[in-house]
Amino acid sequence: MSELIRKTAAELSGLMAEGAVSAREVASAHLDRIEAVDAKVRALPEAQRPKIVVFGESLGSFGGEAPFLSPNNIIARTDGALFSGPTFQNTLRDSVTADRDPGSPEWLPIFDDGANVRFAARPDNLDRPNSPWGQPRIAYLQHASDPIAWFNPDLLFSQPDWLREPRGYDVSPDMNWIPVVTFLQVSADMAVAVDVPDGNGHRYVKDVVNAWAAVMQPPGWTPEKTERLRGRVTQDYSHAPD
């Protein structure tokens, strides 16, 4: 078993930045592990098989999606996935966004008519488009004001679609793209990306509950249970030790 699968997303990112390993090597190591686990799961009687779900936040979302290479691999190998606060290194997120349905914005794309993959900045976004959401379900939580989601070296000399298209609800209408300046501005914002109210910037707390409920659809789950859990998650998060 490759030691690469034991490393955190931050460690893998550092190794790739140093040139010690390639993205292909990282993906191959994780795919081998997924194949091994998948074989053991499928050997079990169907009624005894555990659900396999994938989750990652920020760099963890990069690590979570990297082994799968495409949405079809996630659909084939798991029972659902949730990625919150993806980064510019999330190649799967970026490829899906680039292939988004015409008329949907970069900050909140619709892909393949929402068949399996959906993006949300707020819980009600999970209901768009108004078409069946198949199984397994893959959800991305990303805020239009999250600098970690939208930082990209291309900002130096290229205007991004998220500033060219109708922009997100929490992005100032006064923000304009200026070569080099916007790159520096977004870079600086990354340092304070979590120092904002929940539901903005790089702060994903309450809405994770709604996303998991939508992705997994637990038997007997109700909107009332979602609201109660949202309150507990927020309370526990706000009292967590530094």
Nearest CA-CA partner of 30 in 88, 73, 89, 86: 73
123-150 core/surface letters (b: 16 or more CB in 10 A; e: else): bebbeeeeeebeebbbbbbbbbbbbbbb
Q: Which residues contact 49 (CB under 8 A, 6 or more apart)?
A: 41, 42
Cα separation, 203 vs 224, in Å, equals: 23
pLDDT of residue 234: 72
Mean predicted lDDT score pLDDT of the chain: 89
Question: Lowest-confidence range among 73-77, 121-125, 223-227?
Answer: 73-77
Kindly state the DSSP code that residue 100 receives in the 8-state scheme. P
Cα separation, 165 vs 105, in Å, equals: 6
The answer on pLDDT for 2 being more than 80 is: no
Cα separation, 150 vs 190, in Å, equals: 10
> Cβ-count burial of 190 within 10 angstroms (0-12 exposed, 13-18 middle, 19+ buried)?
middle
Give the predicted TM-score (pTM) of the model: 0.84
The amino acid that residue 115 corresponds to is A
pLDDT band at 215 (very low <50, low <70, confident <90, very high): very high
The answer on pLDDT for 103 being more than 50 is: yes
The answer on pLDDT for 236 being more than 90 is: no
The tens digit of pLDDT for each residue in 7-49 reads 877 787 788 778 888 867 877 787 787 778 778 877 888 788 8
The tens digit of pLDDT for each residue in 116-142 reads 999 999 999 999 999 999 999 999 999
pLDDT of residue 1: 52
Nearest CA-CA partner of 110 in 85, 88, 133, 89: 133
Q: Which residues contact 19 (CB under 8 A, 6 or more apart)?
A: none
Cα separation, 197 vs 46, in Å, equals: 43
The answer on pLDDT for 189 being more than 50 is: yes
Query: Which tops the pLDDT comparison, 219 or 15?
Result: 219
